[in-house]
Chain A
Amino acid sequence: MKPVYISSAAALSPQHSFDNEELLPDIVSTDTGKLYVIDTDYSKFINPVAIRRMSRILKIGISTGMRAVQLSNHPINGIITGTGRGSMRDMELFLGDMIKLNEEALNPTYFIQSTYNSVNGWLAMQTKCTGYNQTYVHRGHSLEMALLDAQMLLNETEEPQTYLVGGLDEMTEDYFLVKSKKGYWKKDIPNSLQLLKHNDTPGSIGGEGAAFFTLTNQAENAMCKLAAINIIQNPTEDIIKAAIDKTLADNNINIKDVDVVLCGLSGDNRFDHLYKSVFDNMTAHTTIAAFKHLVGEYDTSTGFAMWLATELFKHQQIPEVIIQKKGIHPDIKNILIVNHYILNSASIILLQL
């Protein structure tokens, strides 16, 4: 497939990622096992009449999407999002009321806004974009599917086109509780910044966030190139290694050309071995970095990694807090994102300056 270009990026996350000139200032950590998005002034991005009935994830998603649109030089032709969980809080309130009120006199707002495509709908109304509008709900592959869809749409046309693409997920108390019973979270909770050192036990820490990008087939003024997206089902160390090799070969670059690898290491001893091939095969040239100790584990965490990659290109430096193994590359031109989500999904994304 032909590459596409990222013309703008925005992320709301548990770190100070939104509208900051500085790269990851004042790192946030927690001992609670839960990393929540740092709120911004949502009223700057959302219709004041509509905002009063919106849940937090709607405000987070819409504001992040609108910011990415503002930062882009291109009008958008369509909106594509990915979410593993959608609007969890609205869904919990709606289901809770169904039980409490015996399925009578239920609030319509919770129902309307609990649907997975609420953020897409609001973004379409606010941007007046009546084009293609799609939401992917594929657990840990949700954002990757949205990116792939945008890449295919942009590959199909010779016309200059731009799509707003993003991922969003929220963490609620109920979600955290339910998933703790499934072994998603560490029982002995370390400080989040120490998460990756506690990789001898199962579980990670919970997280959430939203990241949006404008993807275009126009190279001018782009932040970087999205060269490849590979989605992997039931990953193993060997499959990850083969997929990395193929991704690099398909794009005519060598393993020694990779300046930074952003790994989805989560401190979970059931999954962190997937990254062994990254550590084993990358040369002294490459910096290996991680990000889940900053944002926690969630279905669309690849979005934060992609936003972080655009920032690394922009600043041409790597914050110490994410470095796992320092490389000797003189600059940052090729970034590989290798990420996984609990259970059975992984992805490999190549971004190039």
Chain B
Amino acid sequence: MEDLKLTLKQQIIESLNLQGMTPADIDDNAPLFGEGLGLDSIDSLELMVLLERNYGIKIEDAREGRKVLQSVQSMAEYIQENRKI
């Protein structure tokens, strides 16, 4: 799980071009949107693409997506249970 979270943080930084950030700067449980990383709606689309490309996960229900994309922790747990790649 720890390895997965580290990889996921690296993928988020690369995918969203979070310049000057390292995985250590992202708290596992901090909200990705709003107060935490301060991501926006376009970022949420980019994260959906990240999940599909790297883990074969397609989230089609917006409410489910909102829960999954709460934090790195919630994303990693969902990936572990649902990954196809």
Tell whether, in the assembled complex, residue B16 and residue A52 are in contact, meaning their CB atoms are under 8 Å apart.
yes
Task: Looking at the assembled complex, report how far the CB atom of B26 sits from the nearest CB atom of chain A, in whole angstroms.
Answer: 15
User: Is there a chain B Cβ closer than 8 Å to A232's Cβ?
Assistant: no
User: Is there a chain B Cβ closer than 8 Å to A99's Cβ?
Assistant: no
The distance in angstroms between the C-alpha atoms of A52 and B16, with both chains bound, is 8
Closest to A108 in B: B45
Tell whether, in the assembled complex, residue B49 and residue A108 are in contact, meaning their CB atoms are under 8 Å apart.
yes
Tell whether, in the assembled complex, residue B49 and residue A105 are in contact, meaning their CB atoms are under 8 Å apart.
yes
Interface residues of A in 97-124 (CB under 8 A from B): 101, 104-109, 112
User: Is there a chain A Cβ closer than 8 Å to B38's Cβ?
Assistant: yes
Tell whether, in the assembled complex, residue B49 and residue A53 are in contact, meaning their CB atoms are under 8 Å apart.
no
Tell whether, in the assembled complex, residue A53 and residue B45 are in contact, meaning their CB atoms are under 8 Å apart.
no
> Per-residue 0/1 for B30-68: is the Cβ within 8 Å of any A Cβ (1 yes, 0 no)?
000000001010100110010011000000000000000
Which among B19, B40, B42 has the greatest number of chain A C-beta atoms within 10 A? Answer: B42
- Chain A residues near B42: list those with CB within 8 A: 53, 108-109, 112
- Chain A residues near B45: list those with CB within 8 A: 108
Closest to B53 in A: A105
- Chain A residues near B53: list those with CB within 8 A: 101, 105
Closest to B19 in A: A52
User: A49-B38, A52-B16, A53-B16 are contacts. A105–B52 as well, Cβ < 8 Å?
Assistant: yes
Task: Looking at the assembled complex, report how far the CB atom of A294 sits from the nearest CB atom of chain B, in whole angstroms.
Answer: 32
User: A49-B40, A52-B16, A52-B18 are contacts. A104–B52 as well, Cβ < 8 Å?
Assistant: yes
Q: What are 7 A-B residue pairs whose CB atoms fall within 8 Å in the complex?
A: A49-B38, A52-B16, A53-B17, A53-B42, A105-B49, A105-B52, A108-B42
Task: Looking at the assembled complex, report how far the CB atom of B47 sits from the nearest CB atom of chain A, in whole angstroms.
Answer: 11
16 extra interface residue pairs, beta carbon distance < 8 Å, beyond A52-B17, A105-B49, A108-B42: A49-B38, A49-B40, A52-B16, A53-B16, A53-B17, A53-B42, A101-B53, A104-B52, A105-B52, A105-B53, A106-B49, A107-B46, A108-B45, A108-B46, A108-B49, A109-B42
Q: How large is the interface on B (under 10, 10 to 19, 20 to 34, 35 or more residues)?
A: 10 to 19
Which among B16, B40, B49 has the greatest number of chain A C-beta atoms within 10 A? Answer: B49
The distance in angstroms between the C-alpha atoms of A98 and B66, with both chains bound, is 26
Task: Looking at the assembled complex, report how far the CB atom of B14 sits from the nearest CB atom of chain A, in whole angstroms.
Answer: 11
Tell whether, in the assembled complex, residue A107 and residue B38 are in contact, meaning their CB atoms are under 8 Å apart.
no
- Chain B residues near A52: list those with CB within 8 A: 16-19
Closest to B40 in A: A49
- Chain A residues near B17: list those with CB within 8 A: 52-53
- Chain A residues near B52: list those with CB within 8 A: 104-105
- Chain B residues near A101: list those with CB within 8 A: 53
- Chain A residues near B19: list those with CB within 8 A: 52
Closest to B17 in A: A52
The distance in angstroms between the C-alpha atoms of A106 and B18, with both chains bound, is 19
Interface residues of B in 1-29 (CB under 8 A from A): 16-19
Task: Looking at the assembled complex, report how far the CB atom of B51 sits from the nearest CB atom of chain A, in whole angstroms.
Answer: 9
The distance in angstroms between the C-alpha atoms of A107 and B17, with both chains bound, is 13
Instruction: State which of B18, B40, B49 has its C-beta within 8 Å of the C-beta of A107.
Output: B49
Q: Which 7 A-B pairs have the closest CB atoms?
A: A105-B52, A108-B45, A52-B17, A105-B53, A105-B49, A52-B19, A107-B49
The distance in angstroms between the C-alpha atoms of A52 and B15, with both chains bound, is 10
Interface residues of A in 280-332 (CB under 8 A from B): none
Task: Looking at the assembled complex, report how far the CB atom of B36 sits from the nearest CB atom of chain A, in whole angstroms.
Answer: 13
Closest to A53 in B: B17
The distance in angstroms between the C-alpha atoms of A108 and B43, with both chains bound, is 9
Task: Looking at the assembled complex, report how far the CB atom of B4 sits from the nearest CB atom of chain A, in whole angstroms.
Answer: 20
- Chain B residues near A104: list those with CB within 8 A: 52
- Chain B residues near A112: list those with CB within 8 A: 42
- Chain A residues near B38: list those with CB within 8 A: 49
Task: Looking at the assembled complex, report how far the CB atom of A49 sits from the nearest CB atom of chain B, in whole angstroms.
Answer: 6
The distance in angstroms between the C-alpha atoms of A63 and B8, with both chains bound, is 33
User: A52-B16, A52-B19, A101-B53 are contacts. A109–B40 as well, Cβ < 8 Å?
Assistant: no
